[in-house]
Amino acid sequence: MPPRPAHSKLLLIISLLVLILAAILSRTTTFFPRLALLASHLTTTSHPASSLTTTSPIMSSPSYEKELKVAQLAVQRAAILTKRVFHEKAKGTVSKDDKSPVTIGDFGAQALIISALKANFPTDEIVAEEESATLRTDASLRDQIWELVKSTKLDDPAAEALLGGSIKDADAMLDIIDLGNSKGGAKGRIWAIDPIDGTKGFLRGGQYAVCLGLMVDGDVKVGVLGCPNLPVNDSAPLDAGIGENQSDYEGRGVIFSGVLGHGATSRPLGTGALAEGRAISMKPIKDMTQASFCESVESGHSNQGESAQIAQKLGITRPSVRMDSQAKYGSIARGAGDIYLRLPTSKTYQEKIWDHAAGDLIVREAGGQVTDTTGKRLDFSVGRTLAENKGVVAAPAEVHDQVIKVVQEVIGQK
């Protein structure tokens, strides 16, 4: 007996479903990310600006793909210049003055980074540390910097072209340096640059960082740190010797990156196209007695006596690791360290936004939390400084409250 029409229709529907399922499974890599993207848009909830959520839901925020790539390549090219300055001019130098290698590196790296940003995002504002007034009256210093700037390029032609290529001449270089004069604030797209963060670390061949962060309406969206003297190996633990004489070792040089809502990565610092990146995350602290904390080398930057008291109250038995620059943020973000303390040494000092923007985001995207000593998130929306914050406490999210409680006990804040 031939199948009844209803049965034939059912068989046809089942066959079509099987074909559809087979097609889906054969294209899993494209189907499921789109499904996840749709789900995230349907389920994302808003959080107040003061919320201590460490990251936004995955795929719920813009990817800033172009901004990230330009920032990574710009930092990589600037890092090449800073390494040249160290090897050609800085060895044996112990201080910073108007003609020091640090000054040369600062100006040169800032010029290269701003040039790349303006080639790609001409209407964006920029907050940077240096201005060209000194160079306009000192031809010898200007010419030294120009020789470095015009001859520093990425090995990969496509990567160099993306950054806009070479600066036209020395006068154009001076004008570009002065484009870092934004007052910052809560509106619009603003980049924050620290061309050499960690002056003394740079001079001693220790840790320094080329730092770049993008803020949109006062919120950090993209952060990149170039750390030429940190180990490429993400699992390499920090030790007491990390703060000096690291510049000539093999296996050094790393770029840390983060995009709000999209996690954090590290990759080797190269000289051409970007190397492949790896996702990084903070290390869970299972035993506080075995935790490590980072602090500044200079006692004028952080109250080291109070840090020692905090470590004792937390039960931490390992000595602190002292190192310069935002390399501390990158180190704890990948689990090489655990806690970063920067405790106020002055009631009036205000931290600069370029000293923290990139590192703050990278740690939060790696599963950490960053606040000031009162537990407030760092506020990058009030100008060129963190005027509303005092100090910095960065730790894995699950123990951050515990650390803050002890910090406040020690420094007397309730």
- Catalytic (active-site) positions: 106, 199
Return the CA Rg of the chain: 24
378-to-12, 94, 223, 291, 398 alpha-carbon distances in Å? 61, 32, 14, 24, 18
With 0-12 CB in 10 A as exposed, 13-18 as middle and 19+ as buried, what is 52?
Answer: middle
Contact criterion met (CB below 8 Å) for 209 and 194: yes
Q: What does the chain come to in residues?
A: 414
- Taking the C-alpha atoms of residue 348 and residue 343, their distance in angstroms, rounded to an integer, is 13
Asked whether 385 and 353 are in contact (CB, 8 A), the reply is yes
Compute the Cα dihedral for 35, 216, 333, 86 and give only its sign. Answer: positive
Q: Which DSSP helix (H) or strand (E) runs through 304?
A: helix 304-314
Give Cα 157 distance to the centre of its chain: 25
User: How far is the C-alpha of 71 from the C-alpha of 214, rounded, in Å?
Assistant: 9
Residues 201, 86: Cα–Cα separation, whole Å: 11
Helix (H, G, I), strand (E, B) or coil at 294: strand
96, with CB counted inside 10 A (0-12, 13-18, 19+), is: middle
Q: Which of 234, 191, 210 is nearest to 326 (CA)?
A: 210
Query: For the purposes of burial, counting CB atoms within 10 Å of the CB of 285, is it exposed (0-12), middle (13-18) or buried (19 or more)?
Result: buried
Alpha-carbon separation of residue 227 from 159, 191, 297, 329, 408 (angstroms): 20, 19, 16, 11, 31
The C-alpha atoms of residue 360 and residue 194 are separated, in whole angstroms, by 14
Please, what's the b/e burial string for 231-246 (b: 16 or more CB within 10 A of its CB; e: otherwise)? bbebeeebeeebbbeb
Distance CA 261, CA 297 (A): 32
